[in-house]
């Protein structure tokens, strides 16, 4: 029996802030989901709903995002990874399967590199191991200057358009509006600090060959934020990894094509020792 409360919108105090999280289902090895920038844990609602009947699934609001309020700390990928490991210890989780999308993938790779004994498996979604090139880095800081001058609306609207497949923008307007609401719920301070965290992150490509745990890599075929070529490069570097490409999806493949995304999760989890749980894939739910 797992200790502590379970349910949605729980809070625990770690590392001088209150972290908000969902913790549902039962299972020997928890699956922890880390959202991308500038989203929150709600982006994983479809995965939690699908998996909770057979697994213990946890989704976190990363420091500063969602209900994990922190407007004062200097945000870094290292800090986010530290928070993750402290959070796991607070919940008495010795090992977990970690699933991160975009920035969540940066955090997962950082944490696995620094705390390899804490993770049973990796699921890397629409992410990459590279650091910013000098050109991209300069562009991020230019964006920060523009936000500080003109506000966040222009950046937010452009970012929302960039993360979706072109068809999703017209055919899945409800999902686009949900994402828009989440993105615009962030303060200007958190948007700019998040951009700095992305700009200052270290590469993790040089240690991918050392990863010796089961790894699933998922990418939308039309992802322009973290292109498929980056996922293919990680797949080549991580021995035994599995690469799944989702058609008609951009950077938020779990939201755009949830049935296909969940099937890839299901198939991967079924290969892990002790996690061969039978779940029913409901096409009508999507």
pLDDT digits (tens, 9 = 90+) for 124-142: 999 999 999 999 999 999 9
Q: Is the confidence at residue 3, as pLDDT, over 60?
A: no
Mean pLDDT of 173-185: 98
Query: C-alpha distances in angstroms, 141 versus 96, 105, 147?
Result: 35, 22, 10
The pLDDT of residue 284: 35
Q: Which pTM value belongs to this model?
A: 0.95
How far apart CA 65 and CA 71 sit, in angstroms, is: 9
Q: Is the confidence at residue 247, as pLDDT, over 50?
A: yes
160: in domain: yes
The pLDDT of residue 274: 62
Q: Which of 195, 48, 58, 32 is nearest to 115 (CA)?
A: 32
Q: Is the confidence at residue 245, as pLDDT, over 90?
A: yes
28: in domain: yes
What is the overall mean pLDDT for the chain?
95
Mean pLDDT of 22-40: 97
- How many domains does the chain fold into? 1
CATH for 35: 3.40.50.1820
52: in domain: yes
The pLDDT of residue 286: 35
283: in domain: no
157: in domain: yes
100: in domain: yes
Q: Is the confidence at residue 225, as pLDDT, over 60?
A: yes
Mean pLDDT of 59-68: 98
- Domain carrying residue 22: 7-276
DSSP-assigned letter for residue 64 = T
Q: Is the confidence at residue 44, as pLDDT, over 60?
A: yes
258: in domain: yes
285: in domain: no
pLDDT greater at residue 249 or residue 280: 249
Query: If you search the block for the tokens 């990863």, which residue do you land on?
Result: 211
Q: Is the confidence at residue 285, as pLDDT, over 80?
A: no
The pLDDT of residue 64: 98
């Amino acid at each position: 029996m797992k200790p502590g409360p379970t349910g949605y919108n729980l809070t625990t105090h770690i590392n001088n802030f209150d972290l908000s999280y969902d913790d549902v289902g039962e299972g020997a090895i928890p699956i922890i989901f880390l959202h991308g920038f500038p989203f929150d844990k709600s982006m994983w609602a479809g995965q939690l709903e699908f998996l909770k009947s057979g697994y213990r699934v946890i989704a976190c609001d990363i420091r500063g995002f969602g209900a994990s309020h922190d407007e004062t700390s200097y945000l870094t990928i290292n800090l986010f990874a530290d928070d993750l490991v402290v959070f796991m210890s607070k919940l008495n989780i010795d090992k977990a399967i970690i699933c991160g999308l975009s920035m969540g993938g940066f955090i997962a790779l950082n944490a696995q590199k620094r705390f390899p004994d804490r993770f049973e498996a990796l699921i890397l979604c629409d992410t990459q191991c590279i650091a910013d090139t000098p050109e991209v880095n300069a562009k991020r800081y230019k964006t920060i200057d523009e936000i500080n001058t003109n506000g966040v609306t222009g950046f937010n609207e452009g970012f929302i358009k960039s993360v979706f497949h072109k068809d999703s923008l017209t055919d899945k307007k409800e999902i686009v509006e949900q994402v828009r609401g989440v993105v615009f719920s962030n303060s200007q301070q958190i948007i700019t600090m998040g951009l700095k965290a992305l700009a200052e992150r270290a590469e993790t490509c040089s240690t991918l060959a050392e990863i010796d745990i089961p790894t699933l890599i998922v990418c939308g075929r039309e992802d322009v934020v973290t292109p498929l070529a980056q996922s293919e490069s990680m797949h080549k570097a991580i021995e035994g990894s599995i690469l799944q490409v989702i058609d008609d999806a951009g950077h938020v493949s779990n939201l755009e094509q949830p049935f296909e995304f969940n099937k890839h999760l299901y198939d991967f989890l079924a290969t892990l020792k002790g996690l061969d749980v039978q779940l029913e894939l409901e096409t009508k739910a999507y």
